[in-house]
Structure 1
């Protein structure tokens, strides 16, 4: 498993917590996971949003979300 991916067990637990929060965007489980992993990547590496790798999607879209 690549280093930027969350372990499946961690994701299942985190997704359950996110799903319990009312009023936030939750559709598209894979897109939500990619967003959470992008945020974790930025926090872990300190990279600027504009320099986010393409595998996470368009940097401006991830930043706005």
Structure 2
């Protein structure tokens, strides 16, 4: 799958994402932050149901729940 975020975009976003994380305890997510944002952008761009996210993003419900925590 083609990525949406370029390396230049992620270089700008990565420190902002790290700063936005309020809680750093618990088990770290399996999906790296960049892939999580790729999943959200893919979902927003295509308008597909959460359950139809490609498997390369991991379990759809993990992405969905993580998105809910971020919102």
In structure 2, what is the equivalent of residue 55 of structure 1?
A: 56
TM-score (norm 1): 0.79
Alignment gaps of 5+ in structure 2: 67-71
Alignment gaps of 5+ in structure 1: none
Number of residue pairs aligned between Structure 1 and Structure 2 = 62
Q: Are residues 1:7 and 2:6 paired?
A: yes
TM-score (norm 2): 0.73
Q: 1:4 to 1:24 in 2, by over 3 A?
A: farther
Q: Which runs of 4+ in 1 moved over 2 A?
A: 2-5
Residues in 1 aligned to 2:46 and 2:9: alpha-carbon distance in whole angstroms: 19
> Which structure has the higher relative contact order (CA within 8 Å, separation 6+)?
2
